[in-house]
Amino acid sequence: MSKVLLIDDDIELVDMLKEYLEQEKFEVHVAYDGESGVIEALSGQYAIVVLDVMMPRLNGLETLRRIRAKSNLPVLMLTAKGDDTDRIIGLELGADDYVPKPCTPRELTARVRAILRRTVIDNPGHSPYSPLAVGALSMWPEQRRATWSGRPLELTSSEFNLLEVLARNAGKPVSKQHLSEQGLGRPLARFDRNIDVHLSSIRQKIATLGSDKSCIQTVYRLGYQFIKE
C-alpha cells in the first residue's frame, strides 16, 4: 500500500481527496499547513506528497523548497487553474508534476499512480550493478540512482524518468509527446512546459558537476536528443 501525504488547508477538498484515495487502496495522511507538512514529508514514511500552492503562513512553494533541500521525494503540486507563474516556479523548484484546481479525485489519483509507477523497481531480475551508461552518465533505474563522471547526480523523480528515456535513445531525437508519455505517464497537453522546465533543471545540475557543454540538445520541431560523447 503506497502512503500519500496531502498538504492542503482546504479541509473540504482534503476530506474528499482522502476518501477517494483510500477507496483506491492508498494510505493517506493529512497536514493542513506547510510547516507540519515539511516535517511529515521528511519523515521517510511517504511514497509521494500532494501539495497545494495556496496556503497561509508557509505557502506551497516555500514548503516545496524546504522539502527539496533535503529530499527527492516525489511531489505533485495543486495549482490554481491558469496560474502559469506558480506552476513554472513549482517545476523549477523540483515539483514532479502539477494538477490544476479544481480537479476531480479521479484525475488526481491517476496522476499520483503515473508518478509512482515510475519510481518503483519494476525489473527486479536485472542486476543493480549493470548501469545504463552513456558517456559520462551512468544510471541505475532499479536503485533510482545516477552519476555524472562518477559524481552523484541528484534528480527528482520526473527528472530521472525523462533523463532515462533520453539516455535509452541516445543519439536519436525524442519527441516531447514520447517524453511526456514515457517520463511523466501522460499525454502531452497543449502549451505544456513541464518537459522544458525539467530538462533545463537537468542541464543545470549536470553543469554543476563539471560538464562544459550540454549533453541534452533541442532538436528543432522534433524534441530533444541526448548527445553521445
Say whether both 53 and 142 belong to one domain: no
Give the torsion through C-alpha atoms of 172, 177, 181, 182, to 10 deg.
10
Q: CB of 99 within 8 A of CB of 138?
A: no
Do the domain assignments include residue 127? no
Kindly report, residue by residue over 153-162, the tens digit of the pLDDT: 999 989 999 9
At residue 80, φ and ψ (nearest 5 deg) are -65, 140
| The length of the chain, given as a count of residues | 229
Alpha carbon distance 174, 55 (integer Å): 38
Say whether both 99 and 148 belong to one domain: no
The model scores a pTM over 0.85: no
Say whether both 16 and 106 belong to one domain: yes
Q: What is the CATH number of the domain that holds 137?
A: 1.10.10.10
Q: Which amino acid is at 100?
A: P
Say whether both 69 and 38 belong to one domain: yes
Say whether both 11 and 111 belong to one domain: yes
Alpha carbon distance 98, 88 (integer Å): 10
Handedness of CA 121, 127, 130, 132 (dihedral sign): negative
Do the domain assignments include residue 90? yes
Say whether both 177 and 136 belong to one domain: yes
- pLDDT at residue 124, as a whole number: 42
Kindly report, residue by residue over 59-97, the tens digit of the pLDDT: 999 999 999 999 999 999 998 877 788 888 999 999 999
Domain final residue, candidates 84, 117, 150: 117
Cell of residue 82, nine digits: 491558469
Do the domain assignments include residue 60? yes
The CA-atom distances, in angstroms, between 155 and each of 35, 171, 223, 224 are 24, 22, 21, 18
Per the structure, the count of domains in the chain is 2
Q: SS3 of 21, please?
A: helix
Say whether both 7 and 113 belong to one domain: yes
Do the domain assignments include residue 124? no
Say whether both 12 and 110 belong to one domain: yes
Domain containing 100 equals: 3-117
